[in-house]
Chain A
Amino acid sequence: MRKCIEGSLAVAEAIKLCRPAVVAAYPITPQTHIVEELAKFKAEGEADFEFVRAESEFSAASIVLGASASGVRTYTASSSQGLLLMTEVLFTIAGLRLPVVLTCANRAVSAPINIWNDQQDAMTIRDAGWIMLFAEDNQEAVDFHLLAYKISEQVKIPVMVNMDGFVLTHTFEPVDIPSEKEVACFLPNYAPAAGQILNVKSPVSLGCFATPADYLEIRQDLFNDLVSSMEIIKKELGNFKKTFKRGNSELVEYYGDKDAEIVFAAMGSIVGTIKDAVDELNAAGQKAGVIKIKCFRPFPKEEVVSQLSKAKYAAVIDKNISLGQEGILATEIKALVRNDKKVQSFIVGLGGRDVTRQHIFDIYKKVQDNKDGVLFVG
């Protein structure tokens, strides 16, 4: 059913429809509305998951770890400092191959403390071994959560759904919330395979320590499975489209002039602003386009390369920075694209600084200056 609803509440509805058994969370802006709404569902009798009020994000992540290892569907959400506090456990969840789903309401990181949106939090834990999806709008945020469970339970890799704090979490938009029946059909009950969970009838030991004789192969397995999860993600995006009649199976979407010389690359809600700017540029006869990267881990290398194949310049727009290097997405794209193509790193929107079409036009001009180094725009 289509309704005009705040992003956080739409996501909470989606989570309710996914029927997790254990939800654990700790409050941090801008994630709070999601978990408050879930607590409300439970209080109203609309849902009956165990809602564990953790005393920290470290604990919240540990609680969903334990519940997931016991064979039930779990959910948690966080942001910024909270996500960073979880970091150690996030690596462990992935290493233990647990299908935990987490929403990151993306927010800047201290210091200075700042509650507004950028994507530094998620990008900082990119090597933890999670599948990382980035939503452009609230419909995608809802849809990605249904997909997250469907994918994670197949590949036994946790999924983090990223939605920009405030820009998406606190914004009212028309969103199609699927029915219970539709979701149950797309996402059946979770049934972990025997021997993979804590069960007194078939005891297993999980989380054993590995010596140099085994550690490398175990990490290599996780790497290989994360890379090959790309095919499952695409397949499930396709299934989603069949069931719900929206979305597409691409991990990287292209928008704008097909022969664009200048192509922007970005993730999350900023893509919407860039699309508007691209429309204006195209209307004025300028050859511009944008690639939207929906899935950052695993990184869809081939799709990025092919979508940038015609571009002369790639302007990579990051709402994060690897201090001492450049925007993180920029580094990843530079690693893929041959030197004859100019890839420039632009940093925007840190700590919630508004990004307007005018900024995108500025970037459009600056990328042609062929300057190396990082350009801050805002």
Chain B
Amino acid sequence: MTDKMLFNSLLNPGHSSCAGCGEILAMRHVLDAAGSNTIIVNATGCSEVTTSKFPTSSFKVPWIHANFENASAVAAGVWAALKTKRKILRGSSRFTSGLAPQDDKQKQAQDDKAGKINVMAWGGDGAFFDIGFGLLSGSWERGENILHVCFDNEAYMNTGVQASGATPFSANTTTTPPDTNSFGNELMKKDMIAIALAHRCVYAGTATIANVVDIENKVKKALTLAGPKYLQILVTCVPGWYTDAKDTIKIARLAQQTGVYPVVEFVNGELLDAVKCPVPRPKVEEYLKLQGRYKHLFKSDKGQVIIKKIQSMADENMEKYNLQ
């Protein structure tokens, strides 16, 4: 069936993502950029649940799901195993055992020369910002050659839009419901790029689903670098952000263009690229008003104050990354 499809991707259609899902689109472009010489370790979340209903799977590459919080550590095990396999194949191991019989030694040795197998850990913002944070930090600290890809839809979507450490200030989620005594999420989004840089990640970058070419280029570049890597992609969530499916790309583009979600790239700690905002720069209202999660801000004077604050946060990003 798949070879009759119009496109050829390593992520098969037939998954159960929502119409307009930004996450599945990002997953497809990340995987196709990485290519078939890739092993994916997937955290629990929408990315896993929509693609792997037993006995089916969307993945044409080796893929494993263990738990919500441990994609980074499972990937660490995969990477460690690959290292030992290479040692065994080179004949430089006297001690270890455990070589899969279907591994054709010569072919594998060629693969070794041609380029190593990419190991990626995939998860949502909840998986990396919150519950799997310590495990991610551990893997970064150990310097493991893994690309950790965070599909950031800014809440726990799979369980019904609860707030996470990635949920932006003032957003309406099911655990930050705006009402008489609440204006939505009162906490600020965690700055994971700063945290990745503090771990000396060789690659730390952000992207949005508005620019899939940028996503593909970033994945390809990151995979040429040996060491710990982090890529965070803003992905629109139609049911979680209360948006129209047709606006998925538009909203993500506005996130970048307003300065709300800086698209940056650090290699070896150095800021190599920051996508500039257009002149004139759209106001944050334009971004916010397309999303039901910010609807309450447009209904009160307090909301206007908060919108001003969000604008000033975007302005700060402009300065911080020189986005003008």
A residues adjacent to B (C-beta < 8 A) = 16, 19-22, 24, 47-50, 52-56, 58-60, 62-74, 88-89, 92, 96, 188-194, 197-211, 214, 218
A218 to B54 alpha-carbon distance, docked (Å): 11
Please pick, from B48, B53, B141, the residue contacting A55 in the complex, using a CB distance under 8 A.
B141
Q: Which chain B residue shows the least CB distance to A190?
A: B98
Please pick, from B64, B97, B104, the residue contacting A206 in the complex, using a CB distance under 8 A.
B64
In the assembled complex, which residues on chain A have CB atoms less than 8 Å from the CB atom of B39?
Answer: 70, 198, 200
Q: Which chain A residue shows the least CB distance to B74?
A: A66
Decide if B59 touches A67 in the complex (CB within 8 Å): no
Decide if A48 touches B62 in the complex (CB within 8 Å): no
Please pick, from A66, A72, A96, A218, the residue contacting B73 in the complex, using a CB distance under 8 A.
A66
**B308 interfacial contact with A, CB 8 Å:** no
- The 6 A-B residue pairs whose C-beta atoms are closest, nearest first, are A66-B77, A55-B138, A62-B73, A70-B81, A205-B57, A72-B98
A316 to B230 alpha-carbon distance, docked (Å): 54
In the assembled complex, which residues on chain A have CB atoms less than 8 Å from the CB atom of B202?
Answer: none
Decide if A70 touches B77 in the complex (CB within 8 Å): yes
In the assembled complex, which residues on chain B have CB atoms less than 8 Å from the CB atom of A16?
Answer: 95
Q: Which chain B residue shows the least CB distance to A197?
A: B100
What 0/1 readout, one digit per residue, does chain B (71-89) give for beta carbons within 8 Å of chain A?
Answer: 0011111111111110110
Decide if B75 touches A66 in the complex (CB within 8 Å): yes
In the assembled complex, which residues on chain A have CB atoms less than 8 Å from the CB atom of B52?
Answer: 205, 207-209
Give the residues from 42 to 58 in chain B that come closer than 8 angstroms, CB to CB, to chain A.
Answer: 48-49, 52-57
B residues adjacent to A (C-beta < 8 A) = 36-39, 41, 48-49, 52-57, 59-67, 69-70, 73-85, 87-88, 93-104, 107, 111, 117, 134-135, 137-138, 141-142
Decide if A66 touches B64 in the complex (CB within 8 Å): yes
| Chain B: minimal CB distance from A81 (Å) | 15
Decide if B95 touches A48 in the complex (CB within 8 Å): yes
Decide if A62 touches B70 in the complex (CB within 8 Å): yes
A68 to B76 alpha-carbon distance, docked (Å): 11
Decide if A58 touches B69 in the complex (CB within 8 Å): yes
In the assembled complex, which residues on chain A have CB atoms less than 8 Å from the CB atom of B57?
Answer: 205, 208
Given contacts A70-B78, A207-B65, are A214 and B134 in contact (CB under 8 A)?
Answer: no
Given contacts A21-B96, A62-B67, A71-B98, are A199 and B103 in contact (CB under 8 A)?
Answer: yes
Contacts A199-B62, A209-B54 aside, 12 further interface pairs with beta carbons under 8 A come to A48-B96, A66-B79, A67-B77, A70-B39, A70-B78, A192-B98, A194-B100, A199-B102, A200-B38, A201-B102, A203-B59, A211-B53
Q: Which chain B residue shows the least CB distance to A68?
A: B77
A138 to B84 alpha-carbon distance, docked (Å): 30
Decide if A69 touches B78 in the complex (CB within 8 Å): yes
Given contacts A49-B84, A52-B142, are A59 and B100 in contact (CB under 8 A)?
Answer: no
| Chain B: minimal CB distance from A106 (Å) | 25
Decide if A66 touches B41 in the complex (CB within 8 Å): yes
In the assembled complex, which residues on chain B have CB atoms less than 8 Å from the CB atom of A71?
Answer: 81, 85, 98-100
A22 to B76 alpha-carbon distance, docked (Å): 10
In the assembled complex, which residues on chain B have CB atoms less than 8 Å from the CB atom of A21?
Answer: 80-81, 84-85, 88, 96-98
Given contacts A73-B98, A201-B102, are A67 and B81 in contact (CB under 8 A)?
Answer: yes
Q: Which chain B residue shows the least CB distance to A52?
A: B80
A48 to B83 alpha-carbon distance, docked (Å): 11
A20 to B97 alpha-carbon distance, docked (Å): 6
A47 to B81 alpha-carbon distance, docked (Å): 15
Decide if B96 touches A62 in the complex (CB within 8 Å): no
In the assembled complex, which residues on chain B have CB atoms less than 8 Å from the CB atom of A19?
Answer: 95-98
Q: Which chain B residue shows the least CB distance to A53?
A: B142
